[in-house]
A = this chain, B = another copy of it.
Amino acid sequence: MKEFIFYNPTQIVFGENQTKNIGRYLKNKKCLLLYGSGSIKKNGIYDKVLESLAKYNVSFVEKSGVKSNPVLTFVYEAIELARKEQVDSILAVGGGSVIDSAKAIAAGFYYDGDVWDFFIDKAQIKQALPIYVVLTLAATASEMNSGAVVTNEKTKQKFNIRSDYLFPKVSILDPVNTYTVPKNHVANGSVDAIVHLLEGYFTKKYPQTPIQDGFVETLVKTIISSTKQILDNPTDYDARANFMWSATLALNGLTTAGIGAYAFPNHMIGHSLSALYDIAHGSTLSIVFPAWLKYNSATLSGRLKQFGKEVFNIYDAQQAIVELEKYFISIGAPTKLKDVGLDQKDIESIAKNAVSLAKKWGLLEYSEDKIASILTFAL
């Protein structure tokens, strides 16, 4: 095993009907209540949260309208509001986009300069508002990690920040809150969580990692089986619960602790697809990842065999890729550029955009040519 630091102080409160306890953790605070398009008003989560806030004397200012692939201009507006209203905390009710926006706002709140400075490594986060979460979409694990991704619409950059100050204090994971998540979002979340797990699994160089391998394989298997159960029966509690906790564990630091250097090349290329064409994050990954595996299949053959055996009970490297792709298709996820209306002529611009992130992430072997070659496998 390679050296690592593992630190994750987020308190997870998991279970049916836990939403009504969120106020307890924010007692007497004044929070910025952040959410998305308003689906939480239709499915009753909003009312439950407000009731709990009232019960524990939590005052709040609302800011709604976070969209998937959250954007910088929204973060600016929210920081201004948070300052004007002098909140002392943020309550994010939503999925990864809402939580990621909360993190950017939390960090920007105390910073005199442009919050984008943190994303382009021009400044370091030294302080942040405490963040609380009621999760409504299982996918990104932002509810239990210290990272966030935001898109700068002006520069067309989808960049990330990371800081120990950004771990949520408390995240409520109530599987019932995800009963109304539509099938395409379930599919996106499933792909996202699986690729979170497999980026490290397939890019690490250090071989002796039986704990992490076993954890990844367990989680991928659980995500695949629970996704199928959810698509069959959206109110299957155990399926929603297993999916939710798997997605959280997929990117909370556990499965990568000790594996040594690893990379997120598929997220890098996927981010460009989102930044340029506003394609949902999960959809970008179900297109890019099989292509990336095919491009690298020769060097990854041993690893693919282990993956195929443990997850799909098959013993052939190429067949492992096929099985994963078949799984993506079976849940309605796009696997080709044409599935999202793109083709050969778009590859050049995607590759150009991705290279700027490759530089930021130190993935210097990813030239425009290489990225373009990978993407041809998605034609």
Chain A contacts to B: CB under 8 angstroms: 1-16, 18, 175, 208, 210-211, 213-215, 217-219, 221-222, 225, 238, 241-242, 245-246, 249, 254, 257-258
Measured CB to CB, the closest approach of chain B to A4, in angstroms, equals 5
> 20 A-B contacts, Cβ less than 8 Å apart?
A1-B175, A1-B242, A2-B15, A4-B14, A6-B11, A7-B9, A9-B9, A12-B257, A14-B257, A208-B238, A210-B225, A211-B218, A211-B219, A211-B246, A214-B214, A214-B221, A214-B222, A215-B215, A245-B257, A254-B254
**Contact between B222 and A1, CB atoms less than 8 A apart:** no
Contacts of A10 in B (CB 8 A): 7
CB-CB under 8 A from A238, the residues of chain B are 1, 208
A218 touches B214 (CB 8 A): yes
Q: Could you tell me the distance in whole angstroms from the C-beta of A181 to the nearest C-beta in chain B?
A: 17
- CA–CA, A216 to B211, complex, Å? 10
Q: Which residues in B have their C-beta under 8 angstroms from that of A14?
A: 1, 3-6, 257-258
Ranked nearest first, the 7 interchain pairs of A and B with the lowest CB-CB distance are: A3-B15, A214-B218, A9-B9, A1-B241, A208-B238, A7-B11, A6-B12
**How many monomers of this protein are in the complex?**
2
Cβ 8 A contact of A11, one of B5, B219, B254: B5
Decide: B1 and A245 in contact? CB cutoff 8 A.
Answer: yes
Which residue in B9, B15, B211, B242 is a CB contact (below 8 Å) of A208? B242
**A87 → chain B closest CB, angstroms:** 24
Bound-complex Cα distance A324 to B225 (A)? 30
- Write out the residue numbers on chain B whose beta carbons fall within 8 Å of the beta carbon of A15: 2-4
**What is the chain B residue whose CB lies nearest that of A237?**
B1
B222 touches A241 (CB 8 A): no
Complex CA gap A371/B13 in Å reads 36
User: Within the assembled complex, what's the spacing in Å between the Cα atoms of A258 and B245?
Assistant: 9
Given A3-B16, A211-B249, A241-B218 contact (CB < 8 Å): no
Closest chain B residue to A16 by CB distance?
B3
Interfacial chain B residues near A6, Cβ < 8 Å = 11-12, 14
Contacting residues, chain B, for A16 (C-beta < 8 A): 3
A258 touches which of B8, B217, B241 (Cβ 8 Å): B241
